[in-house]
C-alpha cells in the first residue's frame, strides 16, 4: 500500500511539472532591412570629421527575447564579400561613419584615392557563433578624396643626413592602410660599414621602428636598421604588424618594341638630385609600347592600369598594360618612385 501511495504521488508530481513547462521555439522572422542615409556620396577633407553616412537596420526577430549581435560587413562591389571589412556593432542597430574613416575604409577596400567606386554593405546578425544570417546587401556609391598616405619616414643614423619633415625619397607608404609599407630608398653607404643605418618613424602614431633580431626583422624602439649591399638603390617593404622588413637592390631598364623587349639593352640612370631614374635619347616609333623592368627580368616591373597610372606588373598578379607611345620621336623617359607606393609616376618628353 505504501509503495502504491509513493507511485501515485510521483505520477502526480510529474503531471504537475508537465503543465508548468513552457516550450521555447526559435523561429526566424523576416531579415532586417538595411538603409543608407546617402548614396551617391562625395567625400572631402572639408567633411573629414563630420558624420557623412549612417547605416541602419531594424532588429532581428527570433520569436523570443534574444541577445542578438550585429556585425556590419563592407566590401568592394562585385567581390561577393570575399574579404570584407568587418565592424562589430554589439546589439546596436545603427552605425555612423565620419568622412575620414569612410574614406580610409573605401581606399583600403580598393577604391583608389580621388576616384568613384561602389561598396557592398550587409549586416550579419546572430544569437550564437553557429546561428547567424545575413541581410540583403545595399550598395553605396562614393567618391574618395586624396590624402597623404600613412608613411614610415626615414631617419638616418650616424653619417647619413635625412630630412626632418616628410620628403619624397625618404619614405615608405601604406597604400591600403593595412600596416604594410613600400617604397624605394637610395642608400649611399655614408656610414662606410657595408650599409646605411636608419630607423623608420610612423606618421600615424610617431612610433620608431628599428633593428629586430636580424636584417629582415624590426622591433618598436629598436636600434638602427642596416640594409646591405650598399651603396644601392633599394625596393623596401616593411610590415609593422609582422615586424618584418625586406629589401632588394634594383637597377631599372626600358624594355619594349624599340629594343626587341630586351631587359638589358636600354639602361636607366639614377639621378640622386631629382630622385628619379632617367633614360635619354630613347627612340620610339608611333604605336610602340614598353615596360619598366629591373635587374634583367620582369619580377620587379611597372606598366600602366586602365586609368593610365603606373602600376606594379610583377608576380603574383602580373597586372597592367604595356605603356603606349603615340608619336614617333626621340624621348627622355623618367621613372619617379620617390613618393612611395601609390604615388609612383613616369614621364615621356
pLDDT at 108: 85
pLDDT at 221: 94
Q: Measure the CA–CA gap between 59 and 291, rounded to whole angstroms.
A: 54
pLDDT means over runs of 10, the chain (349 residues) = 42 46 59 94 92 95 81 95 91 94 90 92 88 93 90 86 90 93 91 82 95 94 83 93 96 97 97 96 96 97 90 93 94 97 94
Q: Measure the CA–CA gap between 69 and 87, rounded to whole angstroms.
A: 11
Counting Cα atoms < 13 Å in the Cβ hemisphere of 294 gives 20
| Whole-Å CA distances, 240 to 65, 106, 197, 202, 206 | 44, 21, 18, 9, 13
pLDDT at 2: 41
Instruction: State the DSSP string of 80-122.
Output: TTSS-EEEE-TT-SEEEEEHHHHHHHHHHTT--TT-EEEEEEE
Which residue(s) pair with 256 in the sheet?
290
Q: Measure the CA–CA gap between 120 and 141, rounded to whole angstroms.
A: 9
Q: Which of these, 333, 341, 347, 343, lies nearest to 300 by C-alpha position?
A: 341
pTM of the model: 0.69
Pairing assessment for the beta strands 196-202 and 180-187 based on DSSP bridges:
unpaired
Q: Measure the CA–CA gap between 180 and 202, rounded to whole angstroms.
A: 12
Residue-wise pLDDT tens digits, 117-141: 999 999 999 888 778 899 999 999 9
Cβ atoms 259, 279 nearer than 8 A: no
pLDDT at 23: 52
- Burial call 194-221: b when 16+ CB within 10 Å, e when fewer: ebbbbbbbbbeeeebbbbbeeeeebeee
pLDDT at 26: 55
Nine-digit cell string for 35:
538603409
Q: Measure the CA–CA gap between 54 and 241, rounded to whole angstroms.
A: 30
Q: Measure the CA–CA gap between 323 and 285, rounded to whole angstroms.
A: 13
Amino acid at each position: 500500500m505504501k509503495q502504491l501511495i509513493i507511485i501515485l504521488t510521483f505520477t502526480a508530481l510529474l503531471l504537475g511539472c508537465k503543465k508548468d513547462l513552457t516550450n521555447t521555439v526559435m523561429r526566424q522572422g523576416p531579415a532586417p532591412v538595411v538603409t543608407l542615409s546617402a548614396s551617391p556620396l562625395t567625400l572631402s577633407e572639408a567633411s573629414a570629421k563630420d558624420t557623412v553616412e549612417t547605416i541602419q537596420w531594424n532588429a532581428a526577430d527570433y520569436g523570443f527575447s534574444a541577445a542578438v549581435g550585429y556585425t556590419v560587413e563592407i566590401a568592394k562591389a562585385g567581390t561577393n564579400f570575399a574579404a570584407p571589412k568587418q565592424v562589430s556593432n554589439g546589439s546596436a542597430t545603427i552605425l555612423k561613419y565620419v568622412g575620414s574613416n569612410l574614406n580610409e575604409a573605401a581606399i583600403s577596400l580598393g577604391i583608389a584615392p580621388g576616384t568613384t567606386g561602389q561598396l557592398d554593405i550587409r549586416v550579419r546578425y546572430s544569437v550564437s557563433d553557429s546561428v547567424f544570417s545575413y541581410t540583403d546587401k545595399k550598395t553605396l556609391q562614393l567618391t574618395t578624396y586624396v590624402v597623404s598616405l600613412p608613411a614610415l619616414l626615414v631617419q638616418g643614423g650616424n653619417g647619413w643626413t635625412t630630412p626632418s619633415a616628410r620628403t619624397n625619397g625618404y619614405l615608405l607608404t601604406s597604400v591600403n592602410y593595412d600596416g604594410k609599407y613600400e617604397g624605394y630608398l637610395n642608400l649611399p653607404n655614408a656610414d662606410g660599414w657595408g650599409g646605411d643605418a636608419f630607423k623608420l618613424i610612423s606618421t600615424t602614431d610617431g612610433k620608431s621602428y628599428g633593428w629586430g633580431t636580424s636584417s629582415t626583422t624590426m622591433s618598436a624602439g629598436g636600434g638602427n636598421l642596416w640594409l646591405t649591399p650598399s651603396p644601392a638603390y633599394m625596393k623596401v617593404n616593411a610590415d609593422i604588424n609582422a615586424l618584418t622588413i625586406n629589401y632588394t637592390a634594383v637597377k631599372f631598364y626600358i624594355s619594349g618594341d624599340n629594343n626587341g623587349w630586351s631587359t638589358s639593352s636600354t639602361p636607366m640612370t639614377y639621378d640622386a638630385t631629382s630622385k628619379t631614374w632617367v633614360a635619354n635619347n630613347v627612340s620610339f616609333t608611333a604605336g610602340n609600347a614598353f615596360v619598366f623592368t629591373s635587374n634583367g627580368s620582369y619580377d620587379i616591373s611597372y606598366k600602366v592600369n586602365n586609368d593610365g597610372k603606373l602600376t606594379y606588373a610583377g608576380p603574383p598578379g602580373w597586372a597592367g598594360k604595356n605603356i603606349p607611345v603615340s608619336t614617333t620621336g626621340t624621348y627622355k623617359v623618367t621613372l619617379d618612385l620617390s613618393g612611395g607606393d601609390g604615388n609612383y609616376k613616369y614621364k615621356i618628353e
